[in-house]
Amino acid sequence: MVNKDEPFASILERIQSADISFPFIAKPDFGERGWMVRKIHSADGLNDYIIRINQKFIIQEFVDLPLEFGVFYTRLPNAATGRVTSITGKEMLFVEGDGDRSLKELILAKDRSKLQWETLKIKFKDRLDQIPDKGERMELGSIGNHCLGTKFLNRNDLITDKVSQTFDEISKGIEGFYFGRYDLRTATEENLESGDFKVMELNGCGAEPSHIYDPKSSVWNAYLDLIKHWNTMYTISTINHKQGIPYTSFAEARKIYAEFKKYTK
């Protein structure tokens, strides 16, 4: 965790002490849907990020592995085992060259990338007139978020008993964790069973089973999946309450929400 008012030299020293090198990921302490998540390539880039961010932020290793998944896990507090209920594959935003059109033309010709034009025209301002070779794939983003153009794919076909067992073992090591989504990167699909992956983020009760955003999925199926997960979350909270864990009061919830909106507006 980094306080934005911390001396810049001290921040760099702590990054080095943590054995983190450029490029790395910077993300806000409070945030959602990819807001202010950035891949930082240099000290100048970090300084620019500090100027723009309005709160504490996290610095973490950039995981350079080819496959990214969101894996949703649930377990009732009084149950011996839990299970994986959703797996989402993430296809980063990209364009493919045809040897004729410029990067700008390729971006504007694709519906998904066109929606990100205001951001991409700044990010690639020095390369917009370049003409990628035919078949050349250009990745336009490295942050796996739907709001940033990433395509979410339903990969529930990857759910197996072994996958559930692997995430059960990991989750039981996190005190009080019964419901949420792991965002991770790995080299192969099979690694979801073996546990050979790197977790980038763990999202709690605000998380969604993001396979519902697959373009082929219907809105009705999405609602059904959300309701199932919300029912599970409700059941978990009632069991916890019976075991002595108090509910969050309305006043406390309103205070948390107000603080969240303050930092993310």
State the pLDDT at residue 35. Answer: 76
Q: Judge residue 58's burial from the number of C-beta atoms within 10 Å of its C-beta, 0-12 exposed, 13-18 middle, 19 or more buried.
A: middle
Kindly tell me if the per-residue pLDDT of 263 is higher than 70.
no
Q: Can you give the residue ranges of every domain in the chain?
A: 8-61, 67-91+151-264, 94-140
Average pLDDT, the chain: 92
DSSP symbols for 66-112: SEEEEEEEE--TT-S--EEEEEEEEE--EEE--SSS-HHHHHHHSHH
Residues 6+ apart with CB under 8 A from 31: 37, 263, 264
What does the pLDDT look like over 156-199, one tens digit per residue? 999 999 999 999 999 999 999 999 999 999 999 999 999 999 99
For residue range 113-142, list pLDDT tens digits in order.
999 999 899 989 999 999 999 999 999 987
Position 1 scores a pLDDT of 87
Please, are residues 214 and 152 in contact by the beta-carbon 8 Å criterion?
yes
**What are the tens digits of pLDDT across the range 204-222?**
998 999 999 999 999 999 9
Are 65 and 187 within 8 A, CB to CB?
yes
Closest by Cα among 37, 45, 62, 38 to 11: 45
Bridge partners of residue 180, in order along the sequence: 73
* Residues 148/93, Cβ–Cβ less than 8 Å: yes
- Compute the distance between CA of residue 32 and CA of residue 113 in angstroms, rounded to an integer: 21
CATH of 67-91+151-264, one of 3.30.470, 3.40.50, 3.40.470, 3.30.160: 3.30.470
139-167 pLDDT, tens digit per residue, is: 998 776 777 789 999 999 999 999 999 99
Cis peptide before 23, with omega less than 30 degrees from 0?
Answer: yes
pLDDT of residue 142: 76
More confident residue, 8 or 264: 8
Is the confidence at residue 94, as pLDDT, over 90? yes
pTM of the model: 0.88
pLDDT at position 81: 97
What are the φ and ψ backbone dihedral angles of 199, each rounded to 5 degrees? Answer: -85, 125
- Reported confidence tier of residue 73, pLDDT bands at 50, 70, 90: very high
pLDDT of residue 239: 98
Half-sphere exposure of 143 (CA within 13 A, CB side): 18
- Per-residue pLDDT, averaged over 230-256, amounts to 95
